[in-house]
Amino acid sequence: MTLREYHRPTNIEEASELLARKNISSQPVLLGTYPIPLHERKWEAAIDLSQIGLAYINTDETDLIRVGSLTSLQELVNAEPIQKYANGILSYAAQIATHRGLRNLASVSGTLLSVKSSPELCLALMILEANAICYPDNVYEFPIQPIDLNPDSIITEIRIPIQSVNTSLERVSRTPLDKSIVCSAVALAIQEDNITDIRIAISGISEQPIAIQTIDSSIVNLSSSKMKGMMYEAIKDSADHKYSDYLGSTEYRIEIATILTVRAIKKILSKQ
C-alpha cells in the first residue's frame, strides 16, 4: 500500500479526526524499539503526533506520575524522579530495551504498541499497576494490543500510581541489547514493613506479556525449593504451550521464567 498523505496536526482533536476517516487507512507515526520496515506499513496516511505536546514527565502530584505517550525511552532513562521510584525499574527497563541511538527516537507508546518491541517497559508498567489513558475517554491496562484500540484512539498518557513497592527485573537474552528471550518483573508491595502483595509479569512464555495472578505474598516465606516448585506450577499453568521458536522451546521458557522470577524475588528480599 502506497503512502499518499502525511499530516502533522497541532491538537489531539484534529489528530483523532484524521485517524477516524473511513475512506483512507491512517495510522499515527510511532517508533518503538523494532522499527517497522516501510514495505510492511499497510496504511495510506501517516499522522505525525509530534506537535501535540505528548512528550513529558510530570511528577508534581503526590500520588501519581504522568508520562506523555511520546516521551522517548532515553528521557525515561535520564529523568531523576523515574530513576528514584520503585528501585528505578522504569529507567532500567528503558535502558536495556535498545541502544542509545534508538532510545532517543523510540517513544513510550511506540514501544508498548509493537509486539516486536522489547517487552521490559510493558512488564515494569504491569507490576506498577500503571494505566494508559487514551483520547477521547478510554483507560487501558497493560499489555495493550493495537486491535484493542478504536481507530480514532490515541494513547496520550501513562499514569503510574505512587506506592511503597520494591521491584526487580531479570532477563535472558543472546546479548545485553538483544530482545529478551524470557523476562520476569516482580514487585513486592510493602505496608508498615510488611509485604502485603506480590505482582509478577513475564514475557517469553506467550505472544503477549502476562501477569501471574495465582501467587500470593506468602510465597516469600517458603524455602527456595518450595518457592521454585510453586512458581513453576503457576507459570506452567499460565503459559501458552504452543509458544516456542528457535530461541527456546516451551519447556525451556517455562523453566527459565521460573528461575528468573525466583531470582528477582530473592534479590528484592536481600535488600529489605
Secondary structure (3-state) at 229: helix
- In angstroms, the CA 265 to CA 168 distance is 7
- What is the structure's pLDDT at 1? 62
For 5-161, CATH number out of 3.40.50.1000, 3.30.465.10, 1.20.1050.10, 3.90.1150.10 equals 3.30.465.10
Do 68 and 51 meet the contact criterion of CB atoms below 8 Å apart?
no
Mean of pLDDT values over 255-259: 98
The bridge status of strand 45-47 relative to strand 26-28 is: parallel
- What is the structure's pLDDT at 96? 96
Mean of pLDDT values over 25-47: 85
Per-residue H/E/C for 99-142: CHHHHCCCEHHHHHCCCCCCCHHHHHHHHCCCEEEEECCEEEEC
C-alpha cell at 21: 476517516
Domain pair 5-161 / 174-270, same fold:
no
> Could you read off the pLDDT of 11-31 as tens digits, one per residue?
999 999 999 999 999 999 999
Instruction: List all residues 6 or more positions away from 187 whose beta carbon is below 8 Å from its beta carbon.
Output: 86, 127, 128, 165, 166, 167, 198, 199
171: confidence class by pLDDT, cuts 50, 70, 90 = very high
| In the predicted structure, residue 37 carries a pLDDT above the cut 80 | no
CATH class of 174-270: alpha beta
Ranges of each domain in the chain: 5-161, 174-270
The bridge status of strand 194-203 relative to strand 210-212 is: antiparallel
> Could you read off the pLDDT of 184-220 as tens digits, one per residue?
999 999 888 789 999 999 999 999 999 999 999 999 9
Mean of pLDDT values over 125-129: 97
Do 180 and 119 meet the contact criterion of CB atoms below 8 Å apart?
yes
Per the prediction, the chain carries an average pLDDT of 93
Count Cβ atoms within 10 A of the Cβ of residue 139 and give its class: 0-12 exposed, 13-18 middle, 19 or more buried.
exposed
Do 121 and 128 meet the contact criterion of CB atoms below 8 Å apart?
no
- What is the structure's pLDDT at 147? 67
Percent of the chain at pLDDT > 90 equals: 78
- Residue whose C-alpha cell reads 501458552 in the numeric block: 240
The candidate with the shortest Cα–Cα distance to 18, out of 47, 51, 56, is: 47
